[in-house]
Chain A
Amino acid sequence: MKLDAATSAGDIPEGLVEPSLYVGKVTPGSLDDQVLAFPETRPPRQWYIALAITLTAALVGVVSIGYTFYIGIGAWGNTSPVFWAFDIINFVFWVGIGHAGTLISAILFLFRKRWRNAIARFAEAMTIFAVICAVIFPLIHVGRPWLAYWLFPYPNQRALWTNFRSPLLWDVFAVNTYFSVSLMFWYLGLIPDIASMRDRTTSKLRKLIYTVLAMGWRGAATHWQHYEKAYLLLAGLATGLVLSVHSVVSFDFATSVVPGWHMTIFPPYFVAGAIFAGFAMVVMVLVVVRETMQLKNLITMRHLDVMNKVILAMSCIMGYSYMMEGFTAWYSMNEFLHHGFMNIITGTYGWAGWVTISCNILIPQILWFRKARTSYFWMILVAVGVTIGMWFERFVIIVISLHQDFLPSAWRIYKPTMVDFGVLLGTFGIFFTLVLLFARVLPVIATTEVKAILPDAQPSHHGDDHHA
């Protein structure tokens, strides 16, 4: 009886109907022709120019890292007591960027948010590239990078084991697991798409490469069944992982007793910040991809609108965390905490604190307006702001907390060197080089997943696809 009442409810009024996830007519065939054609055509000149720029930046990084190897860590600005500076700031920054990809591919998959399908592939790729950039930093900071394998617990002639009570070792496990799982997730998603490319290419060499990469995928129903199950399981596991990885990164700081580091809110707050920064990066890249690769029909304003809403939500969570930090600094009646917090807003590096607060909390508030969420100008402004703000947030946490700790006689000002900036620029170069290569070599949109949400893609007795 209730069911009758429900079905007689009126039509959904305008304004509540969600806009379509694509524009115009999209069929499985047209989707393939549009997306899978990129690897087979010559890139435009702008692509080469962009590649030249990013490669130059990457080269600067390589030279800076080489110089670091030649001179040693002394080439950086790290001093006592700021033993950790750009290296760990950049590490946390890049690992964080990766989290957006895992969130989109895993958590939103579990929530069955269909808008994720068109952007998941790109975000996942960015996860992998970001983690690659991140792992550079601990490796070059260990001092003797050729002995970096000592980080792993393996039986050796020194009869020594790694210290399992050290949060830095937890990082080794967390980041390695994160990279392996992200790569597996990405590759599994790619297999059916690569199979499509295998079956449409005319070039012999490409055919060979795609054949090997697709592992002989043939789209059998028995295979899809296991594949879907595996994807669901991976999504569930990656959801836990995405929480754990940045939590473990936060433990590097929070397990210590350094005022400003020892905060119980750090784990969830780091995760939220990571997603926040990652989404900003994805928005930036998506806008460029959407415009230059003519993907406006598949990556719509609705996608960007929703992404910006997530950024706004994360910004509010960040605001709550900052507020709690400030509140605790007062509520604890602990003079060290209090001093540390005052340093953020009034100390030598107070400007960095205000950059963080304004870029992460104030500027994103513009996204409350729908106009801003669907305007390139505002969303790029916010995304760039968030990227800067989140980098400075790590600067604030690391440098401000370290440069004045319990012992006033040891207080010292930290100044980065040009080599520090060179390595940072280099990782941006490496990241965008990889993004550019990816955009031309592999399918940028998960065609298989988008096909599955097109109208009439599913048998009609499964009538839940009317409002795709």
Chain B
Amino acid sequence: MSQTKNTSNLLWGAVALGALGVLGTYAAAGPERFWANWILWFVLLFTLGLGSLFIVALEHLVSAKWSVPVRRIPERLATLLIPAVPIGLIALAAVPVLYPGARPEAAHHPLLAGKAFWLSLPFFSVRTVISLALCLLGLWVLVGGSLKQDTTKDPAFNFRARKFAPAFMAIFALVITLIAFDWLSGLTPEWYSDIFGVYVFAGAFLSGLAATALCVLHLQDEGRLEGVKGDHLYNLGGFLFAFTVFWSYIGFAQYMLMWYANLPDEVIWYKVRLAGSWRLITILLAGLHFVLPFFALVTRDSKKDPKRLRRVAYLMLGAHVLDIYWLIFPVLGAGPHFSWPELSFALFFLGGILLWIRGAMQKGEDMPVGDPFLREGLEFRL
């Protein structure tokens, strides 16, 4: 008990220390650096939460049984969408600072004039607010309903979730595409790639899976997920493996097609990321986001091995942060910025996210005990 309290104090300390650094960043390193960091963590929080919610919705959509015993984990992780709302609303203040499309000059830019309305702050804000609201709706139906089912044991929730899941998929596609185009590719509004939404989706789903696997392993250590076996871990590992490959496939397809066609309005985006020290970051990203996890999980046994799965899950979360960093930070110009402002933001947000997850992990039962398919899920064997 005292240990958890110590951890909690430590995390609060990190948040406090980080907060100092965050404020210092605005004062000392300038608003651009501040907002770039802020958006990084907003996108991370958002993709993590939405990716987890997607896992939940996917289970209802295909009526999967094996994942019922671990469904509560992504459900709890999806609640990260709640703190994402204020952070996202604050992030709107970054739009005139970092997003060239929202500045008044855009109206005279040959490539931006036509879509200046789309990129302008008011419409940008409307889209973000709608996206966040739709996410909260999904959270309310899928997670709220599931938590309620713990006590009511009413199978009506399963009917409702199955009806809602296809609709949520449409919402999900819309929201993730908007977030990708607005918050990430909007930093270089001349650049366009119609696969970009799918790319961000792959990263979001992957981060949700990695966080789920990690929390499952931690709860198992605490002896809280009795009945979850290697077979369940195998499936989580398998998904993690498959979507590592999927992410790479999408990322490579986008890069290869742009590299091959060599059109100036497209390659400029990669040119920046392949110049100077950014080249190293790009190679690092390919290594950490694809090569390493691919070979770590390629064999059948490694997907069941809790030790390896845990390492890979940590790696994937780190790689996801690096991915977002790689998407955002090149717009600041010059080489990769990594110094005390980034560290303080990491302290502040990581501490906060961990505190939130620790709290969320106490919500409801550890398994959806009201779900009629729980028994079948527990009996699942490969």
Contacts and interface: CB of A to CB of B under 8 A. Distances in A.
Interface of A: 1-3, 5-7, 9-13, 15-16, 18, 110, 112, 232, 239-240, 243, 247, 251, 254-257, 262-268, 316, 320-321, 324-325, 327-328, 330-334, 462-464, 467
Given A2-B369, A328-B192, A264 B378 contact: no
A289 B197 CA distance: 40
Interface in B239-286: 242, 245, 249-250, 253-254, 256-258, 260-261, 263, 265
B323 interface: no
A9 B374 contact: yes
B263 A5 contact: no
Interface stretch (B4-12, B109-117, B120-128): B109-117
B376 A333 contact: no
A112 B376 CA distance: 14
A462 B381 CA distance: 8
Given A268-B250, A463-B379, A464-B379, A256 B261 contact: yes
Contact of A324 (B194, B261, B365, B378): B194
Given A6-B369, A333-B111, 11 more contacts: A16-B63, A239-B242, A254-B261, A257-B263, A264-B194, A264-B196, A268-B198, A268-B249, A328-B193, A462-B381, A464-B381
A93 B78 CA distance: 41
Given A13-B372, A18-B63, A332 B192 contact: yes
Interface in B202-251: 224-227, 238, 242, 245, 249-250
A324 B178 CA distance: 11
B155 interface: yes
Interface residues on B, range: 35 or more
Given A2-B369, A268-B195, A257 B261 contact: yes
Interface of B: 63, 69, 111-112, 114-115, 118, 153, 155, 158-159, 169-170, 173, 177, 181, 192-198, 224-227, 238, 242, 245, 249-250, 253-254, 256-258, 260-261, 263, 265, 300, 365-367, 369-376, 378-382
Contacts of A112: 382
Contact of B158 (A16, A268, A325, A467): A16
6 contacts: A5-B365, A9-B372, A16-B63, A110-B238, A255-B260, A328-B192
Contact of A6 (B112, B169, B227, B245): B227
A321 B196 CA distance: 12
Contacts of A267: 195, 249-250, 253, 257
B256 to A, nearest CB: 8
B376 A467 contact: yes
A140 B300 CA distance: 44
Given A3-B378, A467-B376, A265 B194 contact: yes
A247 B257 CA distance: 11
A333 B189 CA distance: 11
A181 B112 CA distance: 48
A328 B69 CA distance: 41
Contacts of A321: 194
Nearest to B68: A6
Contacts of B365: 2, 5
Contacts of A9: 153, 369-372, 374-375
Contact of A251 (B158, B197, B257, B300): B257
A251 B255 CA distance: 12
B88 to A, nearest CB: 22
Given A262-B257, A267-B253, A7 B375 contact: yes
B249 A247 contact: yes
A8 B80 CA distance: 31
B169 A240 contact: no
4 closest A-B pairs by beta carbon, nearest first, are A255-B260, A264-B195, A328-B194, A265-B194
Given A264-B257, A320-B173, A15 B378 contact: no
B257 A254 contact: yes
A2 B366 contact: yes
A327 B194 contact: yes
Contacts of B261: 254-257, 262
A247 B224 CA distance: 44
B257 A266 contact: yes
Nearest to A332: B192
Contacts of A464: 376, 379-381
A334 B111 CA distance: 8
Contacts of B192: 328, 331-332
Contact of B367 (A6, A247, A320, A327): A6
Contacts of A239: 242
Given A264-B193, A330-B115, A464-B380, A2 B265 contact: no
B219 to A, nearest CB: 11
Nearest to A306: B62
A406 B118 CA distance: 28
Nearest to A268: B198
Contacts of A316: 169-170
A262 B193 contact: no
Contact of A3 (B111, B226, B254, B300): B226
A6 B369 CA distance: 6
A6 B193 CA distance: 47
Contacts of B260: 251, 255
A325 B367 CA distance: 42
B226 A333 contact: no
A325 B195 CA distance: 9
Contact of A16 (B112, B159, B253): B159
A110 B374 CA distance: 22
B380 A265 contact: no
Nearest to B192: A332
Nearest to B110: A333
Nearest to B156: A13
Contacts of B63: 16, 18
A66 B102 CA distance: 62
A243 B257 contact: no
A361 to B, nearest CB: 13
A2 B375 contact: no
Contacts of A266: 257
Contacts of B371: 9
A7 B329 CA distance: 51
Contacts of A255: 256-257, 260-261
Contacts of B263: 257, 262
B153 A10 contact: yes
A454 to B, nearest CB: 17
B328 to A, nearest CB: 20
A354 to B, nearest CB: 21
Nearest to A266: B257
A463 B250 CA distance: 39
Given A251-B257, A254-B257, A464-B380, A6 B375 contact: yes
Nearest to B109: A333
A265 B198 contact: yes
